[in-house]
Amino acid sequence: MGRNEIRLRRQRMSSGRIAQHRNYGDIMARHERDVKIKRITRVFIYFIIIVVVILLFLLVRRWEQNGEPKAKQSTALVQQAPETGAR
């Protein structure tokens, strides 16, 4: 069995027939659509990055705010302990 299928064409395709498939307007439209999609994707990715950064910033701030009173409380406990022990 052959590796490829070989066919014989009795006639060449005419340039008029090939011209029926020629459509640069379609190529341009597809290209513009691709460029638009690329641009939207890029904007979306930037938006996601910015949102993630803001969320991280808010999380860190919140974590810092929640962490501060606890640290103060534990310091207070450490200071009170020796007084109770002396009595």
Q: Could you say whether residue 16 binds another protein (CB under 8 A)?
A: no
| The only residue of 24, 69, 79, 85 in contact with another protein, by rule CB under 8 A | 24
Work out whether the CA dihedral 15, 16, 20, 26 comes out positive or negative.
positive
Residues in contact with another protein, counted by CB under 8 A, come to a total of 25
Binding mask 27-46 for another protein (x = CB under 8 A): xx-xxx-x------------
CA 14 from centre of chain: 48
Region for 7 from its dihedrals, namely left if φ exceeds 0, alpha if ψ lies in -120 to 50, beta otherwise: beta
Shortest CB 44 distance to another protein, Å: 20
User: Which positions lie near another protein, rule CB under 8 A?
Assistant: 2-13, 15, 18, 21-24, 26-28, 30-32, 34
